[in-house]
Amino acid sequence: MELSAGKLWGLRRLADAEGRFKMTAVDQRPPIEGLICERRGIEAAPYEEVCAVKALLAEELADGSSALLVDPYYAYPVAAPVLPPEKGLILTLEDSAFEESPGGRRSAEIGDWGVEKIKRTGADAVKVLAWYRPDADPAVVEHQQAFVARTGEACRRLDLPFVFELLVYPLAGDDYAEDPIRRSEHVLASVEAFADPRFGVDLFKLESPVATGDMPDPDADEGSVAGLFTEMGRLAGRPWVMLSAGVQRDAFERILTFAYRAGASGYLAGRSIWWDAFCRYPDLEAMRAELRADGVPYMVEINQMTDESATPWHDHPAFGPEGPTLAGTGGPGFPAGYNDLEGER
């Protein structure tokens, strides 16, 4: 598998010097807005207060991260001035609000926002979260696939890495807790669907195929859970990282252990790192103190796990024994062979 010039450079920017992803998410919107409203006893979180929280998270967690994921509404305006320039930057494309219907969930871009604007900010990559059920209403499946394909095509045209987060969810009347096998099947089927080259995914951000409550000790697993992680990595067919979904820290470490043994190249996590500190809100200095005393040391711990066990992204089997190669004509033919933003030579 070859990589275009922008995608190759962008993926390198997101990883550490050894090619492992230690990425922190501060793009969350409803969870942060919700706690602020709860603590303030109000219905809408003030813009400035959400920004203050995100600025604090960016300031305290950037040093331990290889890259930061931010939203354009709150986080980017306050994070851009404080994020160290040697760190990678990912910008979110999707709106946190989705359309809920009996047939499933429909995702969409943030209003007045797009891949072109993300490119113009100087960001290193685009991130999209899409809720997905392979057995949802066919019109919903078509909508979600078109949304992702549209993003992938724009990222290809503008030569930005596409980081794709995939989450399954229960439809009305479903209960994954009563049918964990069904949930695992949906996770794997969804990864397989979006691994199709037409979606243009460069890096998968994946959830565990096993619910947190069913996660065994990795060293006591009889092979069934490890097999699910291995199959998920095989189906992805390109570098992948784990999301945390806000699970307890010990559970996330178990997830990372399974994932790293299956070939994952790191993590892109948020709430598992900083939620406990955020619960100190509205005392921002107490938040800062707890991040330094607890959140940052936890990052050090999972970063050490990543250093010891994660597969450098450029060593993924998809790239072959020689690693990633630059797509198109090399040598003196590169200027002519490298497509411009409109896809013309």
The pLDDT of residue 345 is above 60: no
Query: So what's the pLDDT on residue 335?
Result: 85
CA distance 19 to 46: 39
Task: Give the contacts of 233 (CB within 8 A, at least 6 positions apart).
Answer: 240, 259, 262, 263, 264
| pLDDT 10s digits, 61-104 | 999 999 999 999 999 999 999 899 999 999 999 999 999 999 99
Predicted model pTM: 0.96
Q: 183 vs 108, 132, 177, 208, 215, CA distance in Å? A: 24, 12, 9, 10, 14
Query: So what's the pLDDT on residue 175?
Result: 81
| pLDDT 10s digits, 288-313 | 999 999 999 999 999 999 999 999 99
- Which of 82-96, 168-182, 187-201, 245-259 is predicted with the least confidence, judged by mean pLDDT? 168-182
What letter does residue 66 receive in the DSSP assignment? S
Q: Which domains does the chain have, with CATH numbers?
A: 2-337 (3.20.20.70)
Q: Give the CA diameter of the chain.
A: 64
Task: Give the contacts of 98 (CB within 8 A, at least 6 positions apart).
Answer: 105, 106, 107, 108, 131
Could you identify the residue written with the tokens 């992204």?
Answer: 313
Task: Give the contacts of 262 (CB within 8 A, at least 6 positions apart).
Answer: 226, 229, 230, 232, 233
CA distance 292 to 287: 9
- Which of 27-31, 207-211, 319-323, 337-341 is predicted with the least confidence, judged by mean pLDDT? 337-341
Helix residue spans in 62-133 (DSSP H)? 75-79, 115-121
CA distance 232 to 204: 11
Task: Give the contacts of 217 (CB within 8 A, at least 6 positions apart).
Answer: 254
| pLDDT 10s digits, 213-269 | 888 899 998 889 999 999 999 999 999 999 999 999 999 999 999 999 999 999 999
- Mean pLDDT rounded to a whole number for the chain: 95
| pLDDT 10s digits, 22-45 | 999 999 999 999 999 999 999 999
The pLDDT of residue 343 is above 60: no
The pLDDT of residue 344 is above 60: no
CA angle (166, 9, 195) in 5-degree steps:
30
CA distance 152 to 32: 28
Tokens (6 digits) for 340: 């411009």
Task: Give the contacts of 37 (CB within 8 A, at least 6 positions apart).
Answer: 43, 44, 45
Task: Give the contacts of 240 (CB within 8 A, at least 6 positions apart).
Answer: 203, 204, 205, 206, 232, 233, 263, 264, 265
Main-chain phi, psi angles of 270, to 5 degrees: -135, -80
Query: So what's the pLDDT on residue 329?
Result: 66
Could you identify the residue written with the tokens 């049918």?
Answer: 179
pLDDT band at 147 (very low <50, low <70, confident <90, very high): very high
Query: So what's the pLDDT on residue 340?
Result: 59
Query: So what's the pLDDT on residue 179?
Result: 84
Query: So what's the pLDDT on residue 25?
Result: 98
- Is residue 310 packed enough to be buried (19+ CB in 10 Å), middle (13-18) or exposed (0-12)? buried
